[in-house]
Amino acid sequence: MTTIRDAVIEDIPLIRRLAQDIWPATYSELLSPEQLQYMLELFYSPTALDTQMREGHRFLILEEDHVPQGFADFSEIDPPGTIKLHKLYVLPTGQGKGWGRQLLGQVIRLSEALEAHAIQLQVKRDNKARHFYEKMGFRVLHELDLEIGNGYYMRDYIMQYDLSTPTDGSA
């Protein structure tokens, strides 16, 4: 049985472990090993995750038969009524099982409950996840090149989902 639950501070080691299992499979063809490790530490160190949670990021954990398989992270941002989906990841062994769609559907429902009007996200321009988001109703707003330290850049698309837009059954 698939369940989605809210994460708590005690889940930080679990989220970190999931990221360490997911990121190499997701980004090894897109990032150098050094940049991948740098970004994992930047976004998934215990301190970084603790700060994110304390600053209002809401993490969700997807479990299949009580075994963690993926996670999402979102928060309210400016302008008011906008949600940012910071993270949505599923273990490679769980991809294609609809779990990403389920996590995204839960983020959409929770965003609607907050009376938000849009969900935005950043996705690496050459990441195949872009096609998943487009299928789910997101559209590209613009490109963003962001320097993140150590000479590394994030070259992303900013995508948006308008909460009044129906999807193909995910929400």
Predicted confidence (pLDDT) per residue in 75-113, tens digit? 999 999 999 999 999 999 999 999 999 999 999 999 999
Q: What is the pLDDT of residue 154?
A: 87
Q: What is the pLDDT of residue 91?
A: 98
Q: What is the pLDDT of residue 61?
A: 99
DSSP tag of 121: E
Q: Rounded to an integer, what distance in angstroms lies between the CA atom of residue 23 and that of residue 134? A: 21
CATH topology of domain 2-162: Aminopeptidase (3.40.630)
Residue-range domain boundaries for the chain:
2-162
Low-confidence ranges of the chain (pLDDT < 70): 165-171
